[in-house]
Structure 1
Amino acid sequence: MSAKTAAPRVPSNATFKSKEKPQEVRKANIIAARAVADAIRTSLGPKGMDKMIKTSRGEIIISNDGHTILKQMAILHPVARMLVDVSAAQDAEAGDGTTSVVILTGALLGAADRLLSKGIHPTIIAESFEKASRRSVEILLEICHKISLNDREDLIRAATTSLSSKIVSQHSSFLAPLTVDSILKICDENSTTVDLSDIRLIKKVGGTIDDTNLINGVVLTQNVVKNAGGPTRKEKAKIGLIQFQISPPKPDTENNIVVNDYRQMDKILKEERAYLLNICKKIKKSKCNVLLIQKSILRDAVNDLALHFLAKLGIMVIKDIEREEVEFLSKSLGCKPISDLELFTEDRLGSADLVEEIESDGSKIVVLTGIKSNLAKPTVSVVIRGANNMILDETERSLHDALCVIRCLVKERGLIAGGGAPEIEIARRLSKEARAMNGVEAYIWQEFAEALEIIPTTLAENAGLNSIKVVTELRSRHENGEVNEGISVRRSGTTNTYDDHILQPVLVSTSAISLAAECVKSILRIDDITFSR
C-alpha cells in the first residue's frame, strides 16, 4: 500500500489533560535560573573571585559585585532574567548582598525541584516558602543587636565588612571611616533614610586609592576659564548658575550677511560689544562674582569678548556645567538656576566662603567650601583617585555598596553577625519548627532551612575550607546556643563573628530572603512560556 495513513488529529483540549508539559517547563525554568546563580557563586565572600567582562562596546569591567556582573551578562532566557531583576531590586533596597540574593534564589529553586519530584503541588511549595521567609525575617529581627547612629565604631565595622570582599579591601581601614563620615554629615539621629544623591562621587585618574578624600562642600571637575586673565580664587563668593549664553545671538536659520562697507562692519562690532557689556554689567550689578555657565549645544556658552569683560569686572567663570549637574549644584549651593537675564537678581545667588581651583596629582578641580545659604541642603563630595579607569570604577562601586550599608543602618538600626551565622541560626530554628508540624508543610520548611545553608557552604568553599566540616561544626555550636558563630576567613575556621567585627545590617539579610522567596514563588507559578508575534 503506497497511501500513507494520516496521523490522528489531537483534540484541542488535550493540552489540559497532559501534565507533562507544565512539569517540563518548570524544570527548564529552574535549570536556566540555577545556571545564572552558579555563574556568580564563586564571587561571594572576602575570598571570592572577580569576573572580567568585555562589553559590546569593547570596554573592560572587572568586578565581583553581583548586580554589576548580571547586568552586563547577555542573558536570553526570560526566567533567568528574573534573577537579574531580583539582584537589581536588592541593589535598590539594600545596596549590598546582590550576590547572596541570587545564590539564595538558586538554592531555593533547587529545593523546589526536589519537592516537585516528590509530587508536591507547586502552589503549596510557593506559599510555604513565603511563610518560611516571613518567619526567617522575624528570627533575624529577634537576634539582631540594636545600634545608634552616634556609635561611629559599629558603623565603621559594618562598612569594613562590606569592603572586605572587594578589590579595594586592603584600603578598607581608610575608606570605611570616609563612607561613615560622609553619611553622618548629611543625616542625623532622627533621619529615617539617606538620599545617596547628596553624596557625589567624582573619579579622577592619578595618584592612588589612598589619595581619595572627602570634601565638605562641592567639587567641580570643570576648570576655571583663565584665557582672559580672570581670577582663579574668590573669597566670600556669590555664585550665579546661568542657563543662558553670553555670546551674540544667532538667527534660527542659516543666514549670511554681506558687508560691503567698513562703517557697517564697525557698527556690527559695536552692537556686539554693547550687547555683551550690558549682560556683564547686569551680572556685576547683582553682586555676583562667581559665574557657573551651563553647557550649550546651539552656540558658544560664552565668547572671548564676554570673558574679557567678565575678567575686567573680577568675575570668576566656570563653563560647561552639565545638565545633570544643575539640580545637584542648585541644591548644594542654595542658588536657583537663572534662565533669563531679566531674572538675574541677588536673591537667586548662592554664597560660599571660598571658591578656588586646586591642583592635585596632575589634574585640576574647583572646590567650593563654607556654603552658607539657608536654602542649601547639606551635601558632600568624595574625590576618588586611582591609577586607571578600571580601578576607579571598581572603587566607586565598592564605595557605593559601603554607603548603602550605612544607609541600611539608618533605615533599620540593627546589626547582625556576618560570615553565615544568621543563615545557620535560621536554618536551625526552622528545622526545629518543621519537626513540630505535620503534613507536607513540614517537608517544605525542612527543605527551605537546608537551602539557606548554601551561604555558609559557599563562603567556606570560596575560602578553600572543607565546607562539610565547617557547616557541621557551625550547626553543633548553634545547637549549644552560640548564635553569633560564623565563618571567619582570616582564622580559616569558625569563630564568634560578632566579636570578630564581621558585621552586616539586618536589612541586607531580611530583604535578601524576602526577595529570593518572592522570586521563587513567581517562577514556580509559571507553567508555560509562549512567545507573542
Structure 2
Amino acid sequence: MASFPGTLAFDEFGRPFIIIRDQQNQQRLTGVEALKSHMAAGKTIANVLRTSLGPKGLDKMMVSADGDVTVTNDGATILKQMDVDHEIAKLMVQLSQSQDDEIGDGTTGVVVLAGALLEQAEQLLDKGIHPIRIADGFELAAHHAVKHLDSIADSFPFDVNNLEPLIQTAMTTLGSKIVNKCHRQMAEIAVNAVLAVADMEKKDVNFELIKVIGKVGGRLEDTMLVKGVVVDKDFSHPQMPKVLKDVKLAILTCPFEPPKPKTKHKLDVTSVEDYKALRAYEAEKFTEMVQQVKGTGATLAICQWGFDDEANHLLLQKELPAVRWVGGPEIELIAIATGGRIVPRFEELTPDKLGHAGLVREISFGTTKDRMLVIEECKNSRAVTIFIRGGNKMIIEEAKRSIHDALCVVRNLVVDNRIVYGGGAAEISCALSVSAEADKFSSLEQYAFRAFAEALESVPLALAENSGLSPIHTVTEVKARQAVEGNSALGIDCMLNGTADMRQQHVIETLRSKKQQIVLATQLVKMILKIDDIRCPNDQGSHGL
C-alpha cells in the first residue's frame, strides 16, 4: 500500500485539509509560473539542436562519464547522450526518440518545431489566452497542416528499374551528414540494401536482414555493399585456403570437443597408460566428428564455439576449412543467407541442412593484417551487409547513424511512395495555408492558428541561418514567391545552387516523415500546456536543466 504524502487535519469548522510532509524540501510551481518553466526547458533543448539542422548544420561533440567521445548531428543521438534533469527536457528527448523509432529521419526537425510551438504558446499566454484554448487551436492547426501536406505531396511510381527518385531522397537525408563527401555512393548503397531485402507485395522491409559493420582504416569511399554476410573472423588455421568456391556450409552450435560426463564424478588419470588411452579416445572422437561433417558433403564448417589446436590441426589434415567463435546473430544471418539450418548436434547433421554459397573469401586490411570473412553469392541473397570504412572510430559510428537514417527513408518510400520537397518548402507552404485558414475562425483559436503558422516557419529560418544566409530576408522572399506563384516546391537554397526550386535541386523528403514531425510536436506541446502544477525536491530539475 502506498504511503500517504502527509497528515490529515481539520480546521475549526471541521473541514479537512492535508499537511504535506517535508513541505520545506519541496519546490512547487503552479499555474502560469509552471507553464513558463516547462516552456523555458523545452526551448533550451530546441535551441541546442537548432544549429544542427540542415545540410550546413554543425555537429555536437559529447563526452560521456567514461571519457568516450561522440561527434554527431543526429538529433536522436545528441538528446540520448545529453544529461538532462528537467522533466520537460526528458519529454523532448522521448519525442526525438519516438520520431527515430517510427520514421528514422527528422529527429532534429521535430524538436526544433516543438521548441518553436512552445515559444509561440508563451507569447499567447502573455496575451491572457487560456492554455487549453491554445492547445485546442494548435491541434486544429496541425490537422489542417497534415491535410495540406496530402494536397501538395507528389508520388512517384515505384519502379525497380528506375532507382533515381529513391537515390535522390536518400541523398537529401545524407546531405547534412558527415558522409556527404561520398553522397551518391552512400545513397545508392542504402537503396540497393533496402531493395535487396524488401517484400514488395507486403510493402515491408525487414531491417534484421541488413547488417551494418565498420572497420577502422581506409576511406569512406571504400564502403561497400556485400550481397551476403561479412563476419569479423578468419579461418581457424593460417594454412587453410583463403578463397573457396561453390561452398557447402555446415552451421554448427556444437563444439569440436569430446563429450563430457554429465555427472559429478571425476576421472583420475594415475598412469601413462590411462593418459594415452584418454588421448586416443579424444583423437578418435575428433576424427569421428570431422568425418561426420565431411560425410555430409560440407566444404566449410562454421562453428559458434571454439575448438583446441588438436581439432584445428585435424580439420586442416582432413581438408575441411573452419571458422570458430562466430556469434549468435552472425550465425543466424549466415543461415538465412545461405539457406542452411543451424545444427545443435553432430548426429543431426544431414546433407539437406547444409547452406550454399558461391564464394567465401578472406580479406585483409592494411599493415595490421586484420582479417574478415566475406560470404557472397548466397542461395538466398536477401541478407546483405553494409561494410563501412573510415579514418577513425568516430567517423565510422557517425557513418553508421547516417546510413541508418537513409535506410529508414528508403523503407518509408517502399511503404508509402509519396514525397514532399525539403529545404523548408513544405513548412512554408503549410504556414501559408494555416495562416489563410486562421481568418475563417471567429473564436480565440484564430490566434493559435497564426502562432502555429509562425512556428512552422522556424524550420526554414533555422536552415537559412545555418547556411550563412539572412534568415528573415530569405524566408520572406520565398514566402512571397510561394504565395504569388503557387509553387509549393520553393524552399531555402542552402547549398547556394542558384535556384530556390527544390524540385530542380532534387531535395526530397518522405511525406510520412513530415506528417509525423508535425503530429508528434503538436501532441507534446498540447500535453505540456495541460501541466499547471509541478512539485519536486529542490535538488532536482524543475528549475533548470
Indicate conservation of the 8 Å contact 2:249/2:354, yes or no.
Answer: yes
- The corresponding residue for 1:523 is 528
Q: 1:98-497, aligned counterparts within 5 Å?
A: 98-150=107-159, 151-187=162-198, 189-227=200-238, 229-250=239-260, 258-295=268-305, 301-361=306-366, 362-372=369-379, 376=380, 378-480=382-484, 481-491=486-496, 495-497=500-502
Q: Please report how far the alpha carbon of residue 110 of structure 1 lies from its aligned counterpart in structure 2 after TM superposition.
A: 1.3
In structure 1, what is the Cα distance between the partners aligned to 2:329 and 2:386?
18
1:146 Cα deviation after fit: 0.5
8 Å CA contact 2:227, 2:381 repeated in 1: no
Identify the residue that residue 540 of structure 2 maps to in structure 1: none
- Tell me by how many angstroms 1:219 deviates: 1.4
Indicate which of 29, 36, 49 corresponds to 1:27.
36
Structure 1, gaps ≥5 residues long? 1-7, 296-300
Cα offset, 1:503, TM superposition: 1.4
Higher mean C-alpha deviation, range 463-472 or range 233-242? 233-242
Whichever residue aligns with residue 57 of structure 2, its letter is G
* 1:226 partner letter: H
Following TM superposition, by how much is the alpha carbon of 1:377 offset from its aligned partner in structure 2, in angstroms? 6.2
1:5 maps to none
Q: Note the residue ranges of structure 2 that are not aligned, 5 or more in a row.
A: 1-10, 21-27, 538-545
Aligned equivalent of 1:3: none
Aligned to 2:105: 96
SS in 2 for 1:436: coil
- Between stretches 195-204 and 71-80, larger displacement belongs to 195-204
Quote the offset at 1:344 in angstroms: 1.6
Partner-residue secondary structure (3-state), 2:281: helix
- 1:402-426 alpha-carbon deviations (Å, 9 max, x no partner): 1111112112201211110110100
Q: 2:78 aligned with 1:69, yes or no?
A: yes
Closer, same or farther: CA 29–415 of 1 in aligned 2, 3 Å = same
Post-superposition offset of 1:309: 2.2
Whether the aligned pair in 2 keeps the contact of 1:419 and 1:488 (CA below 8 Å) is: yes
TM-aligned CA distance change 1:526 to 1:328, over 3 Å: farther
How big is the shift at 1:165? Answer: 0.7
Number of positions where the alignment pairs a residue of Structure 1 with one of Structure 2: 514
Quote how far apart the aligned CAs of 1:156 are. Answer: 1.3
Q: Is the 8 A contact 1:191 1:410 kept in 2?
A: no
In structure 2, relative to structure 1, the CA distance for the partners of 1:249 and 1:104 (3 Å cut) is same
TM-score between the two structures when normalised by the length of structure 2: 0.89
1:245 partner letter: P
Conserved 8 A contact 1:465-1:492: no
Shift of 1:224: 1.0
> Offset at 1:447?
0.8
Give the TM-score normalised by the residue count of structure 1.
0.91
Which AA in structure 2 matches 1:42?
T
Alpha carbons of 1:342 and 1:485: their partners in 2 closer, same or farther (altered >3 Å)?
same
Offset, 1:345: 1.8
Cα-to-partner distance string for 1:54-75 (whole Å, 9 max, x where unaligned)? 1122111111111111111101
Give per-residue Cα distances to partners, 1:1-40, cap 9 Å, x unaligned: xxxxxxx99973899xxx9813222221111121111111
